[in-house]
Structure 1
Amino acid sequence: MSALLLRRLRCLSRTPGSVRAFSSLPPPLPTALVRSTFLDFFREEHGHLLVPSSPVRPRGDPSLLFVNAGMNQFKPILTGTADPRSAMASYRRVVNSQKCVRAGGKHNDLEDVGRDVYHHTFFEMLGNWSFGDYFKEKACSMAWSLLTEHYGIPADRLYVSYFAGDAASGLPADEETRQIWLDIGVPAAHLLPFGLKENFWEMGDTGPCGPCTEIHYDHVGGRNAASLVNTDDPEVVEIWNLVFMQYNRDMDQTLSLLPKSSVDTGMGLERLTAVLQGKRSNYDTDLFTPLLHAIHQRSKVAPYGGRTGSSDQLKVDTAYRVVADHVRTMCVCIADGIHPGMSGAELVLRRILRRAVRFNVEILKAPQGALASLVPTVTHILGGVYPELQREEERIIDIINENEAHFLSSLQQGTRLIHRTLRKMEDKDSSVFPASVAWSLNRDLGFPLDLVDLMLDERGVRVDRQELERLIAENLEVVSDQPADAQPGLTLDVSSLVALQRSGVPHTDDSMKYQYRLKEDGYVFPKCSATVVALFNGQALVSEVTEGQRCGVILDQTCFYAEQGGQSHDRGYFLRDGLQDVPFPVENVVVAGGYVVHHVTATDHLKVGDQVQLHLDQVHRLSLMVNHTTTHLLNFALRTVIGPSVQQRGSHVSADYLRFDFSTKKSLSASQLQQIERCVHDIVSAKHMVHSQELPLQAAMHLSGLRTVDEVYPDPVRVVAVNVPVSELLDKASDPETSVELCCGTHLLQTAAIEDMVITSERQMVKGISRIIAVTRQEATKAREAGKDLSEDVDSLTTRLTLSTPADLNVAQRQAKEVGVLSDAVDNTPMPQWQRRELQSQLKVLQRQSNTVIRKMEIKEAASQAQAVLKKNGQKDVLVDSVETDSMSVLMKTVNHVCSASPHSHVILLAHQRHSGKVLCACQVPKGSASLLASDWATAVCGHLSGNAGGTAVVAKGSGSSSDITGALRWAEQFAHQRLRPLISSHS
């Protein structure tokens, strides 16, 4: 049903002319129609461009874990940093439905999910935007028309908030918006002023911001609900937020008017659907009911009842909501390339998955695997709008199943550790659970802290909360993914970009970065002279800088490549006219809004208008060109060897190596790695030409054999093809057997310069995503030579160990150490990964053989030592002696042999290591010996020897140092007798 047809149907229940209140609710609308009505209203009736949702993994924005609002993908427009050649730069009116996740960082609804009926970690945000086009009046009138006329929501159930102003910030009340709503027909009693917290929106500490107006809906109706707005009352909910971005907050926190005002609106689809389907709960809409039904079919509890709070004592309905919400989030995130992991967004998703598993298994009593079996239901509900869910369904199921199995295993392991710690606490009569253990459970096993609390409450035990919070705070340090040489303080802000445009400063001409030629003796890079057209000191544009001052230098033209498209920036320096002996080193190169900014620490005076000569680090640039072209060949080779299902998931090109992330079900075999290297080598040996050409974006997207990634491409866009001129690709109907990609990077003109490529590492980062590290040219040669040398070393060691039998334990241990040292070298030396895998397999066999020989020798030696100790001492309550061995393993086995032969003896043995000078200590006591614990005895003896020890009540070990073994033995015996004397006396 189209929006236009829906509008006609509703004309029957609507009076013409001004907006009026409705006496009854509209008929329920299915979610698909709610969504399409919104999009069609703005697209067909108000000329908005429909832009697809971006993935929930943010593009190039390290400040976000997930896309959490519809405006995230349009941030470059709002900050003025969009590539002026991209389609985004031309956006004026836009509409979309954006996938959003709020489960980490500033916006985090994770802990609220399940407790109420309207919070979600994943939701869809409907939004319309104006970038310098319409403003407040048009935005308000369209919103009111859509809600009351097209959706048929009774106007008397709607309340509108607006910005009341803030005297401290010097911000006036938004009376303009208030008057617009009055003119539309909103009663004054339904217009409510609020302050900064509720009705002033800011992107961050700096940047575009402005007042907003929110539309709230009263589920009850027939009353004055004004006092309930913005009070977290579940009956009166915000459904739409209209943000009017008219200010920019500068670095010094002052506000200035933006040259172009913009509108950014956001309306949660789930809440809107609940309103239009007459439901108080989002979970009662058709977005969730099929999922809740599927959960019930797999559980062993009653159907979903919608209870919350105290009425949901067993937390069954809470669990239903948690599982339904979280499985949607998992599906969307995994389909967009985010997988459960150990940091950032991956860590948050891991927590979401484990929370869902706990509720599903513990409360809903669902069997293992039930969670992943819900994925087809999610795909059925959302797959029509987000087809990536359908494409990735099988992989999503595999990842959820694998992570669930791992977590359930961790739960069992963690439960055992908790019980073991509790038993130790009973011995010490303590009721405070060690915070270090609780944090280790959470950090290392993913064991939820609230589950630790629950298990301890049942025993009347508590965690040392103050110490736990300290440990958590220590580990909350976020490691930024930003390159070490990045200098965000020199990034142009929106005010500076606007100032440049107002001053008529043209965008930087960086076409010279592509103007190089290939001659017989190598590449020739053109000379580049330029004029300084602007200087930025991190806060504002300035006319000059002095020596030692960091600044961003903008030139009228440049031959330097700015970091983008996964390729590192160029290196080099400037020379200023009249100052030819003082170079200005270029530390970083970035691009913002069409301006290339060279980060420089001034080595002398520099001012706008100065003439400079640019000197490119040609060796560094050539290495980048080699590795970037190799990245394209690697992408092509992966598809050739593994198949067309391989999708690029990320890449990074530096002068030293290249990194390539791609989708694959499992890690590559040694044979596949060799095939991929051969495929690349064949193209290199063939000396294929590398062609590039700019094409209109629309034409480029239809090229045969084209591979793209999820990026915003400029228009026109640069096409890079190997061995086939781009002009010929326009005429081909079938996919050519070559690499064809859209790419702004700098590339070779012929593949021969690559010389060689070696994959030095390949491993699965998470289930379904592998990462390759590769090197080229001289580094590849070094890697192959290292592999050859190590292969010869492994063969030599294998021959030696196979032909010779170790004479004694010391020889066997030395041989095992040789295997270990060689294994470390194989693990850590850059070499062909396929060869590393083969050598690792050989060394594992040798390690097992060596360990078997050592174990047998240790058992034999321990038995001999034990026999000598028993012959010397006989069987007695306290047996203290020394033995000759350098091995703690032998010493422990000797003690065990002695105790097996004399089960009632309390045994401690010392051994003086010949090489290190340390004294080894091992002890064992009969089970149930309350007077003398092995851990106490060993700790005391090793403490006497200025060392330390540890163990259990029965077995312990440690070390110390002493030149007087006899004295140490005497002290150990006296300690034992003092502890055992009361027991011996009572027996007497």
Structure 2
Amino acid sequence: SRRGFSASARGTKHGHREVASSPVTPRADPSLLFVNAGMNQFKPLLLGTVDPRSEMAGYKRVVNSQKCLRAGGKHNDLEDVGRDLYHHTFFEMLGSWSFGDYFKEEACSMAWELLTQVYGIPEDQLYVTYFGGDAALRLSPDEETREIWRSIGVSPGRLLPFGLGDNFWEMGETGPCGPCTEIHYDHVRGRDASAQVNAADPEVLEIWNLVFMEYNREADGNLRPLPRRSVDTGLGLERLTAVLQGKRSNYDTDHFTPLLDAIRMGSGARCYRGLVGAADTESVDMAYRVLADHARALAVCIADGILPGMTGPQLVLRRILRRAVRFSSEVLHAPPGLLASLVPTVVETLGDVYPELTRDVTQIMDVINENEEAFMSSLVRGRRIINRTLERSSGAQTFPVDVAWSLYQNLGFPLDLISVMLEERGVRLDSAGLEQREREETESRQPGSEVTGRLSVHAIAELQRNGVPTTDDTPKYSYTLGSNGNYVFEPSRAQVLALCVDQSLVQEVGEGHCCSVILDRTNFYPEQGGQSPDRGYLVPDQHQDSLLPVEDVQMWAGYVAHQVTALVTLRVGEKVSLYVDEAPVTTQQLQEVERIAQELVERNEEVHIAVVPLGQTARIPGLRAGHELYPDPVRVVSVGVAVDRLLSSGDGVSGSVELCCGTHLLQTGLIQDLVITWERQQVKGISRITAVTRDQAREAREMGRVLEQEVESLCVRAEPGATSLGDSHRMSREVGQMTKMVDEAVMPQWQRRELQTKLKALQRRVNTALRKLETGMTHTHNPQLSVMLLSQQDSGMVFCACQVLMSTLCAADWAVAVCAQMDGNAGGSSVVAQGSGTNSDLEATLKFATKYAKNKLAAQEPTVLDAQETP
């Protein structure tokens, strides 16, 4: 039926162009979670926003089979799937379109010809509806369409008018719209079923909808004729196949019977009987339909790059998977892995049409199995929580909203399962309270803006409780000396074990957010032993074209945390490749770049601009461009060399050549001056540079000179060394303030680096002197005391030092326990120890330190104890 539809439209009589299905992830359309109709990918054409230079702009007559998913948002069929014989999450929509070409007459005749002549459907089982008008909108009946159907041969008794709700299609509150005509099929022959059309009779179903977009609804509600009319027709493949194969149910067609057979073999359940409602007493047939449908949806989505997660379409897919697993385990009592075992059958039935399904079948199955295993663990925990809650609130008629929300949000426990389990115990789920909680959560949820590579003590404890193994970082020593004298670092492969945002563990991180990534193994060197951490990037297997910069690497309790900005959604369980960067751009290289740029300014080179066919740009030496991202033709900007010369002779590029539609100076001399004020390495071999020109460049150079003098003055004043704790603290504050000024100033980047190096060395010297003074206080305070000193540093850190009497408590244990409370660490001997942390609540930390020591000393001889804070 799919091939027949396409062949008929592509034939010489109708001349449609076949267009591939778009992925089920909408392209640049935030109004949709999934593609849910064939027209989604053609919205730019229908709205008149298509780039006139794009391939789509040339579409006149188009046909395709579109992958669709209706399981979230406005069109959500998820909870209906399995309850009847025709609802689906994933389905295929056959469609034909005319964009400013043919209109009503050819659309109607083509549809009738296909159904009655190509497919051989008896005319006496078909009914046709048309728009009967709307007096309130002053819209007349679509008599043109009615007369077209009469001329085709549809009898008046089978030609039925309906109103705005059934036969007028609108894209939204504003935009293209128009009347539609629908073709309905009656499964029962030899009767007049006109009264059952559009009456929710399962025996009389709509099979084809033809929309005639001839109006535009304005913001004021008025309808204006469109300058270019279009036709959009949609025909559900699964429903059409049921008609052609003489089946009452879509699940009895060859789209689903191989899956139903596989479910029976894999589960050992009784054969599928097609029962619904009360007749399906144990919901076995419903479970068959749920698994068959959801297996198709999961395979298609995962193949298109959507993985189960915690937000948006990923969250919907997570719910689809968990709903299927629940029916598999609790209704069919199937062994684990049944859902994933259906994937090869899905690929057999759909892979020839959608080849992306065949690329990595094992990966699709692994994703499903891993998520099923996680959910089964959550089910056990969820049941235990429900039972404990009901035991504690014996006699309560309503289940606590907070507990239900935690089960749903944190464990992924389906709300319908919670409801069923509570009904069995005579307890009600507060649906209204849950809806309110969801609204509050949505309103309060804000994207994280700042994340560091630190793992809190709570996050580390959770990792350990969950059995997450520490990171194998031995590959960091796997490097060799190349023939050119440079070290070669081999890339490594790893799996994401955990993700941390704002010191909390999450299952996925959305695009644009910062996070700490814990891997099973890494070749990145974490900051330790006085050595700076490696920089580099991660490449997710699911997004090979996305390079995720690794900005910092730290080790906490054996877990190596890679600080990453997620340029794409990153999920626990994903496989990634790791690449360690070689040295970043040096200070000398930055100065050299500025020098080269200044030479171009002084030469006053001409900037050449030309629009050329995209294919010809491949002849331009040194031009890097992803052709799929550019229109055709494309605008070429070249400095110093005419574009036609580049195309004809292939001369070397002395300046710069790019594909760019932006505005440019016509001569380089107009820049006057240029200063690089910022450089940041994005990925290996690629740095992002920010520069200022003209007056701002001169101001940046002056700022650099002023700050250089200030830093030199500070170094001179710090040379003698502070003799008191107060002086040392004041000097530390000055260094910190000057470091902040240098970090934030608009100045030459090469000069910033030189001053930062000097200030770091000065800060280390001041801190060393400061700690010696503070540690000395613990030694001289009283030799008969056990002493702990906590000191707030200007950097925000809290310094901890302690000394204890022999044979009392262990100094190292005391310091470690206290620093853990401050999200830090410590070390030392049984007598003397020191460490640091970040918690600024010193009063609470002091209380903890005193309580810890008293508890340890409770069973021993009384000992004088002192814990103090310094300013």
Partner residue of 1:181?
A: 149
Partner residue of 1:672?
A: 579
Shift in Å at residue 221 of structure 1?
2.1
Distance 1:98 1:676, change over 3 A: farther
SS in 2 for 1:265: strand
Give the counterpart of 1:146 among 100, 114, 117: 114
Distance 1:234 1:851, change over 3 A: farther
88-97 or 682-691: bigger deviation: 682-691
CA distance in 1, matches of 2:762, 2:391: 53
Amino acid at match of 2:8: F
> Are the equivalent residues in 2 in contact too, given 1:684–1:756 (CA < 8 A)?
no
* Percent identity for Structure 1 against Structure 2: 52
Output the TM-score relative to the length of structure 1: 0.56
Give the counterpart of 2:167 among 199, 209, 223: 199
Matched, 1:850 2:826: yes
Give the counterpart of 1:887 among 836, 844, 847: 847
Shift in Å at residue 342 of structure 1?
2.5
Shift in Å at residue 696 of structure 1?
3.9
Amino acid at match of 1:218: D
> Are the equivalent residues in 2 in contact too, given 1:647–1:662 (CA < 8 A)?
no
Which ranges in structure 2 are unaligned for 5 or more consecutive residues? 448-510, 513-534, 550-563, 601-606, 650-655, 669-673, 692-743, 780-784, 800-818, 834-843
CA distance in 1, matches of 2:612, 2:10: 28
Amino acid at match of 1:91: Y
Matched, 1:438 2:438: no
SS in 2 for 1:47: coil
Partner residue of 1:537?
A: none
Shift in Å at residue 651 of structure 1?
11
Distance 1:221 1:411, change over 3 A: same
Give the counterpart of 2:414 among 448, 454, 459: 448
Shift in Å at residue 698 of structure 1?
6.6
Partner residue of 2:60?
A: 92
CA distance in 2, matches of 1:378, 1:740: 48
CA distance in 1, matches of 2:444, 2:196: 39
Partner residue of 2:213?
A: 245
Matched, 1:459 2:425: yes
Distance 1:226 1:374, change over 3 A: same
SS in 2 for 1:672: strand
1:898-917 mapped onto 2 (5 Å cutoff)? none
Partner residue of 2:47?
A: 79
Shift in Å at residue 44 of structure 1?
2.1
Give the counterpart of 2:6 among 34, 39, 59: 39
Which ranges in structure 1 are unaligned for 5 or more consecutive residues? 1-33, 482-565, 568-636, 733-738, 763-771, 823-842, 858-883, 902-910, 917-988
CA distance in 1, matches of 2:77, 2:617: 41
Shift in Å at residue 186 of structure 1?
1.1
SS in 2 for 1:41: helix
> Are the equivalent residues in 2 in contact too, given 1:658–1:774 (CA < 8 A)?
no
Partner residue of 2:436?
A: 470
Distance 1:245 1:651, change over 3 A: farther
Amino acid at match of 1:334: I
Post-superposition CA distance 1:326-361 (Å, at most 9, x none): 222222223323332322222222222222222222
Amino acid at match of 2:84: D
Partner residue of 1:333?
A: 301
Give the counterpart of 2:197 among 221, 229, 247: 229
Partner residue of 2:461?
A: none
Partner residue of 1:930?
A: none
SS in 1 for 2:215: strand
Amino acid at match of 1:758: R
Matched, 1:811 2:758: no
Partner residue of 1:647?
A: 544
Shift in Å at residue 185 of structure 1?
0.9
CA distance in 2, matches of 1:359, 1:852: 56
Shift in Å at residue 211 of structure 1?
0.6
Give the counterpart of 1:263 among 217, 231, 237: 231
> Are the equivalent residues in 1 in contact too, given 2:182–2:207 (CA < 8 A)?
yes
Shift in Å at residue 700 of structure 1?
7.3
SS in 2 for 1:248: strand
CA distance in 2, matches of 1:668, 1:476: 31
CA distance in 2, matches of 1:367, 1:816: 58
Distance 1:449 1:810, change over 3 A: farther
Shift in Å at residue 74 of structure 1?
1.1
1:632-643 mapped onto 2 (5 Å cutoff)? none
> Are the equivalent residues in 1 in contact too, given 2:789–2:867 (CA < 8 A)?
no
Partner residue of 2:450?
A: none
1:819-838 mapped onto 2 (5 Å cutoff)? none
Partner residue of 1:758?
A: 680
Distance 1:740 1:422, change over 3 A: farther
Amino acid at match of 1:343: T
1:591-610 mapped onto 2 (5 Å cutoff)? none
SS in 1 for 2:232: strand
Amino acid at match of 1:438: A
> Are the equivalent residues in 2 in contact too, given 1:109–1:120 (CA < 8 A)?
yes
C-alpha root-mean-square deviation of aligned residues, in Å? 5.4
> Are the equivalent residues in 1 in contact too, given 2:540–2:576 (CA < 8 A)?
no
Amino acid at match of 1:88: M
Amino acid at match of 2:425: R
SS in 2 for 1:811: strand
Partner residue of 1:105?
A: 73
Post-superposition CA distance 1:744-802 (Å, at most 9, x none): 6789999x99898535799xxxxxxxxx998544798779998998899899999989x
Output the TM-score relative to the length of structure 2: 0.62
Shift in Å at residue 156 of structure 1?
1.3
Post-superposition CA distance 1:678-700 (Å, at most 9, x none): 89x99998989999975545777
Partner residue of 1:715?
A: 632
Shift in Å at residue 466 of structure 1?
3.5
Partner residue of 1:420?
A: 388
SS in 1 for 2:226: strand
Shift in Å at residue 434 of structure 1?
1.1
Partner residue of 2:485?
A: none
SS in 2 for 1:413: helix
Distance 1:384 1:895, change over 3 A: same
Amino acid at match of 1:48: H
Partner residue of 1:560?
A: none
The total of aligned residue pairs comes to: 648
75-84 or 277-286: bigger deviation: 277-286
Amino acid at match of 1:434: P
Amino acid at match of 1:44: G
Amino acid at match of 1:444: N
Amino acid at match of 1:117: L
Shift in Å at residue 643 of structure 1?
11
Amino acid at match of 1:43: R
SS in 2 for 1:251: coil
> Are the equivalent residues in 2 in contact too, given 1:638–1:646 (CA < 8 A)?
no
> Are the equivalent residues in 1 in contact too, given 2:639–2:657 (CA < 8 A)?
yes
> Are the equivalent residues in 2 in contact too, given 1:290–1:377 (CA < 8 A)?
yes
CA distance in 2, matches of 1:454, 1:35: 40
Partner residue of 2:455?
A: none
CA distance in 1, matches of 2:416, 2:760: 50
CA distance in 2, matches of 1:268, 1:788: 70
Shift in Å at residue 123 of structure 1?
1.1
Amino acid at match of 1:205: E
Distance 1:336 1:190, change over 3 A: same
Distance 1:816 1:94, change over 3 A: same
> Are the equivalent residues in 2 in contact too, given 1:708–1:742 (CA < 8 A)?
no
Matched, 1:356 2:273: no
Shift in Å at residue 743 of structure 1?
7.4
Distance 1:47 1:346, change over 3 A: same
Amino acid at match of 1:173: P
Shift in Å at residue 181 of structure 1?
0.9
